[in-house]
Every structure is written in C-alpha cells, then in structure tokens.
C-alpha cells in the first residue's frame, strides 16, 4: 500500500453557522491520482482548501505525514504541498518565467535572491508542461490552455509531494483536457500524490486510481472508479441517470436524463 | 496584444532592469543636487563648490545651503520616497493599480491632526507642534483601522474602513475650517493643507525621519508577500505566506511613512498613484522590484516638482501639492481610460 501523505479525519468545516462539509474521512496517498467528484456545492473545493490549511476546521483533524498542520508549520507545508486554485490567474502581467519562479518562494530564505538551481527547477517544470517556448511571454498574452499549463508548471516548481488541483481541466478543449490528464497521470506514476476536483466523469474514470464522491457535505463513496460510478450512487447524488460503459476499453460515463430522487 | 517570444526581447528585458535602477539612482542624486542650487536667493554652484572645498564663504550663503535648502531637499527624498513606496505596496497588496497612499485614511487623519494644532493655536506655541499633531492623527488612524480591518479581515473591509476614516477626518477638518476664529487662521490651514516643502528645517527632518525610515523598512519587507499575492490570496497562503502579518506590516508601514510625510509636508497628491504605474512596465510587473523602483521614482518626481515650484513662481510660491495635483489629475484620467480599454 502506498504511503499516506495527508490524512483527513472527521473533518467538519462551516461558514458561519452553515456547515459545508461534515465528518469527512479521507486519505491522500503518494503515487495515486485521486478524483474528487460530486455536484456543485457539495463541498469539494472546501475539502481541498481545508486540506492545505486555507480554511479553519470546525472539527476533526488533518495530518500531513503524521503531523498536524500546526506541528508541520506553514513553511514546511508550503514546501511539500502545492495548491492549484480553480481558474487560477495572475493579477499582474508577469512574464511566464517569473510567474513559475514564484513556486520557488517557500524554498528561498527571504534575504536571498533566486539561485541558478531555482531557475533550473522552474525551467524543468515548464518543460514538463510543454511550455518552455512560452517562458518569455507575458502571462496575459496566453490562451486559456497555455495559461493552465503555466499555472500547473508554477505548482510543479514547488517540487511538491502532494498536489491539490481544483478543476484543472474545466474550460479546456478536448485536446488540452487529455494533455493535462496525461500530465497528472504521469505525475502520479512518478510518485507524487495528486488530488483533483473534476466534473468530467469519463475522464475521471479513465485516469484516476480512486474516486471520492461527495454529496450533501458527506463522502458517499470512496473506491475504484468502476465501483463509484454506478447508477446507484450517481442517481442519488447528481439527480441524473447515466449511461455507463466500463467493458469496452475506455470507460464512458454519459449523462442521459434527469431522474427523480426519492 | 502582441506576444512575441523572440530573443532580442529577452535581451532587452534583462538589460532594462539594472539600467532602470542606474537611471533612478542618478535621478535621485541629480535632483537632490539641483534642489540645493535652486532658489530665490542667488546662491548656486560657486557657493556650493566653495562650501564643499572648505573655502570661506559668507555666513548667509552657508545658511541658505545648509539650513534652508538641505532640509527641503532631504524632505523631498523622504516624502516622495514614502509616497511612491506606499503607493506601490498598496497597489500590490490590493492588486489594484488605482490604489494610492491616502487610501487607508492616514493622510486625511494626519492632515486633521495638523489642522487642529493650527485651529487651537497650539502650532504657534512651539515649532514642532504642527507636525507632532499630524503624527498623532496618523497614529490614531492606524489604531482605528487595525480595530476595523486588522487581522484576518478582507481587503474590501480595509478599503471601506479607509474610506470611512478619510471621510470622517475630512469632515472634521472642514469643521475646523468652518469654526476658524478669523479668516487669517482659515487661510493658514488651507495653505498648509495644499502641501509644501518650503520653510522646513532640520527639526522637521529629525521629527519625521525616524518614522519614515521605520515605515519604509517595513514596506520593503513586503516584497515576497506581494509577489506571491500576484497569484491570489489562496495560492499566496499555500506558498507559506502569512497574510495577516503582511497586512499588519502594510498598515503600520504606510501609516508611519505616509503619516509622518503628511505631518511635515501636508498632502501631496498623485505621486503615490502615478509613480508605481509609470514604472511597473519597466520592472516586468514584479511587485517586489516595483517597491524599490517606486521609492526612488517618487523621490525624483517630488524633488523635480519642488524645484519646478521654485522656478515657476517667483512671487507667491505655488504650493507643491497644487502642482502635483495639476499634473497628476490629467494623468489619472488617462490611466482610467487605459484601464477601461483593457477591460473591453
């Protein structure tokens, strides 16, 4: 069994008095590509943000490599865990290279500048995302697909052991969706733990090792894709009947029609 | 938008930055020296060279150079540097190119403090009463803004708190003007608020200097958080940045540097807004590098404006704040039009 990087136990998060997720138990493991699925507003993003310490938990605990986030410390966590927010964007028109180099911040003491090693790692991250040729461009001149690859390179420049990405393929064309999913697959195969929030269930089924289905603040299923993506769960959570086909090579999960949930 | 990734562009970008800082440092030094040479009294190069080579010069010329023009030039660097730096820091923190040093209310509060000393006649009792009143006003504003928007509050809350403090301080300033004992007192307050560096002594430098240096030091430490914030608050935090600490450093740094600047020089508008915006493109939009560039650019612009004021009007001196506003307001308009066209 692969090593557990992050362990979420009995986590609850609320905004004010409204609970967003309740009593969630889940493990993120090294070398595994995990897909978080569920309808809008189910709490996927909240789980991801709470996992990297961006939200305060109302209850339960989160442990990174066996230590609580507080024991780990924000800098140590930042060196090991990269977070890629939904529709991540840059507020100033930095060059792509400068933007990717921001991923090296947690590794640099504040009084030092960039080392050649930092630059080498940033270029390697760009190269891993097929974006070396963009290094000198300004971020605002890039297309959506190029931008998402650069943002991924920024996260990889952290050299994380665990990568949490919120809807990384949303809004991309089919080619870029495939490329980004292949990238996550390759990262997981290289030993990094990868957790993504994803709405495309066919892509999730095809590339992920494990799916966690969240509905109404709770985890409904946590298993291999083929076991999670059955109509018993899907009808209940999405209110939609799906056509699923796992038997002919590439899995297909196709929404068919609305269905009544009793 | 033309995204061209040819090599010459790359080379240009790498050479531009040391080049920019050489220009800025030369600019600060040059403007400082010119500031010592220009004035209504006929004291210029010859006297300056004589003073530096320890030759005997008249006591009058020496006094003009050292006691009148020197503090004025030094305050030009301190005040202009504070405004440029505070503008760059606030724009970086709020990720908004329209932010300016007065945004969190310290300028208005410092003005109010100074005007109160004029109103009560305290300013006449001892020389430093007026700037001390300004600094008290700024400190009070920090206290209030920390209560209203300190800690984990949102950036929107910081802006709204700043508007509230500015509005209230301006209202009280108007009240002080309204209730002025005689027209001369009202005029004195009006003139003071227009912002000027004339007739300032080394006492002003000694009073404001420590606050300004401490504030500037705090703001220069913000480079990393501001760079990280380019990617948004969540990503910045995930990169190990303590946003709460950055925010406190920002509020304290702006309050000390801009508060003390306003206390000794009155309100000088648009420097903090215009300078970061002008220089941003030359530093590849990096917020951390922009801090240093804007501090120097602010000093150059303020010194040049202060020199112009002396050259333009031999009679009743044009106030520095009036000149910066006259030049700055049209620039602001162009800025708004440009930002709008970028949105479309």
pTM, to two decimals: 0.89
Instruction: Please indicate if any CB of chain B lies within 8 Å of the CB of A54.
Output: yes
Rounded distance between C-alpha atoms, residue B296 and residue B290, angstroms: 10
Distance, in angstroms, between B276 CA and closest chain A CA?
Answer: 13
Rounded distance between C-alpha atoms, residue A72 and residue B53, angstroms: 62
A-B CB pairs within 8 A amount to: 87
Strands A18-29 and A59-64: unpaired
Interface contact B5-A93, CB threshold 8 A: no
Q: What is the pLDDT of residues B159-186, one digit of tens each?
A: 889 999 999 999 999 999 999 888 888 8
CA-based nearest residue to A129, from A110, A157, A152: A152
The pLDDT, as a whole number, for residue B182 is: 86
Confidence bin at B340 (pLDDT 50/70/90): low
Q: What is the pLDDT of residues A38-48, one digit of tens each?
A: 999 889 999 99
Strands A59-64 and A67-68: antiparallel
Residue recorded with tokens 């796992």: A246
Structure tokens at B5: 């990734």
Q: At residue B8, does pLDDT exceed 50?
A: no
The pLDDT, as a whole number, for residue B60 is: 78
Distance, in angstroms, between A46 CA and closest chain B CA?
Answer: 12
> How many C-beta atoms lie closer than 10 Å to residue A26's C-beta?
19
Distance, in angstroms, between B221 CA and closest chain A CA?
Answer: 9
Three-state SS annotation for chain A: CCCEEEEEEEEEEEECCEEEEEEEEEEEECCCEEEEECCCCCCHHHHHHHHCCCCCCCEEEEEECCEEHHHHCHHHHHHHEEEECCCCCCCCCCEHHHHHHHHHHHHCCCCCCCCHHHHHHHHHHHHHCCCHHHCCCEHHHCCHHHHHHHHHHHHHCCCCCEEEEECCCCCCCHHHHHHHHHHHHHHHHCCCEEEEECCCHHHHHHHCCEEEEEECCEEEEEECHHHHCCHHHHHHHHCEEEEEECCCCCCEEEEEEECCCC
Rounded distance between C-alpha atoms, residue A80 and residue B214, angstroms: 35
The pLDDT, as a whole number, for residue A51 is: 92
Distance, in angstroms, between A106 CA and closest chain B CA?
Answer: 6
Q: B223-253 burial, b if ≥16 CB within 10 A, otherwise e?
A: bbbbbbbbbbbbbbbbbbbebeebbebbbbb
Q: What are phi and psi of A100, to 5 degrees?
A: -65, -35
Q: What is the pLDDT of residues B285-312, one digit of tens each?
A: 899 999 999 999 999 999 999 999 988 8
Using CA atoms of A163, A79, B243, A20 in order, give the dihedral in degrees to the nearest 10: 30
Rounded distance between C-alpha atoms, residue A144 and residue B150, angstroms: 36
Interface contact A91-B229, CB threshold 8 A: yes
Q: At residue A67, does pLDDT exceed 50?
A: yes
Instruction: Please indicate if any CB of chain B lies within 8 Å of the CB of A117.
Output: no
The pLDDT, as a whole number, for residue A65 is: 92
Interface contact B240-A75, CB threshold 8 A: yes
Which residue in B221, B231, B236 has the most chain A C-beta atoms within 10 A of its own C-beta, making it the best mutation to test that interface? B231
Structure tokens at B114: 């100074």
Interface predicted TM-score (ipTM): 0.90
Instruction: Please indicate if any CB of chain B lies within 8 Å of the CB of A142.
Output: yes
Q: At residue B6, does pLDDT exceed 60?
A: no
Average pLDDT for B256-277: 91
């Amino acid at each position: 069994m692969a090593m557990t990087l992050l362990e979420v136990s009995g986590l609850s998060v609320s905004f004010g008095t409204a609970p967003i997720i309740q009593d969630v138990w889940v493990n993120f493991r090294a070398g595994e590509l995990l897909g978080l699925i569920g309808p809008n507003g189910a709490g996927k993003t909240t789980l991801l943000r709470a996992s990297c310490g961006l939200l305060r938990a109302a209850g339960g605990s989160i442990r990174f490599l066996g230590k609580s986030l507080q024991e780990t410390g924000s800098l140590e966590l930042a060196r090991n865990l990269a977070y890629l927010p939904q529709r991540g964007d840059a507020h100033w028109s930095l060059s792509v290279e400068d933007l990717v180099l921001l991923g090296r911040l947690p590794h640099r003491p504040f009084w030092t500048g960039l080392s050649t090693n930092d630059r080498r790692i940033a270029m390697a991250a760009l190269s891993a995302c097929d974006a070396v040729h963009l290094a000198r461009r300004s971020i605002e001149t890039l297309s959506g697909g190029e931008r998402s690859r650069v943002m991924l390179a920024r996260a990889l420049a952290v050299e994380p052991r665990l990568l949490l990405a919120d809807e990384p393929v949303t809004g991309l064309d089919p080619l870029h969706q495939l490329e980004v999913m292949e990238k996550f697959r390759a990262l997981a195969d290289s030993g990094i733990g990868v957790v993504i929030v994803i709405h495309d269930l066919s892509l999730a089924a095809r590339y992920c090792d494990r799916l966690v289905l969240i509905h109404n603040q709770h985890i409904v299923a946590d298993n291999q894709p083929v076991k999670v993506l059955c109509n018993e769960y899907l009808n209940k959570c999405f209110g939609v009947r799906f056509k699923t086909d796992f038997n002919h090579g590439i899995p297909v999960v196709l929404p068919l029609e609305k269905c009544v949930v009793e | 938008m033309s995204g061209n990734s040819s090599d010459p562009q790359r080379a240009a970008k790498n050479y531009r930055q040391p080049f920019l800082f050489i220009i800025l440092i030369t600019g600060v030094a040059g403007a400082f020296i010119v500031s010592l040479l220009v004035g209504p009294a006929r004291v210029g190069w010859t006297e300056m060279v004589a003073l530096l080579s320890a030759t005997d010069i008249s006591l009058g010329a020496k006094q003009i150079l050292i006691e009148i023009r020197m503090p004025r030039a030094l305050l030009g660097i301190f005040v202009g540097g504070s405004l440029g730096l505070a503008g760059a820091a606030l724009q970086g923190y709020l990720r908004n190119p329209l932010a300016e040093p007065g945004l969190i209310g310290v300028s208005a509060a410092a003005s109010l403090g100074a005007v109160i000393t004029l109103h009560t006649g305290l300013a006449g009792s001892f020389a430093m009463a007026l700037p001390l009143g300004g600094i008290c006003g700024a400190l009070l504003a920090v206290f209030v803004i920390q209560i209203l928007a300190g800690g984990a509050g949102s950036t929107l809350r910081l802006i709204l708190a700043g508007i509230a403090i500015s509005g209230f301080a301006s209202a009280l300033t108007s009240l002080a003007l309204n209730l002025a004992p005689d027209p001369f007192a009202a005029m004195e307050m009006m003139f003071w608020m227009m912002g000027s560096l004339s007739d300032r002594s080394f006492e002003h430098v000694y009073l404001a200097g420590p606050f300004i240096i401490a504030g500037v030091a705090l703001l220069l430490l913000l480079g990393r958080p501001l760079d990280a914030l380019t990617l948004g608050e969540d990503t910045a935090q995930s990169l190990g940045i303590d946003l709460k600490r950055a925010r406190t450093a920002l509020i304290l740094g702006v309050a000390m540097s801009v508060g003390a600047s306003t206390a000794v020089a009155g309100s000088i508008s648009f420097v903090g807004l215009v300078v970061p915006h002008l220089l941003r493109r030359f530093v590849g939009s990096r917020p951390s590098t922009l801090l240093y560039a804007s501090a120097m650019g602010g000093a150059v612009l303020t010194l040049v404006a202060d020199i112009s004021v002396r050259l333009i009007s031999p009679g009743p001196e044009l106030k520095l704040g009036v000149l910066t506003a006259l030049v700055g307001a049209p620039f602001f308009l162009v800025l708004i039009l440009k930002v709008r066209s970028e949105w479309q």
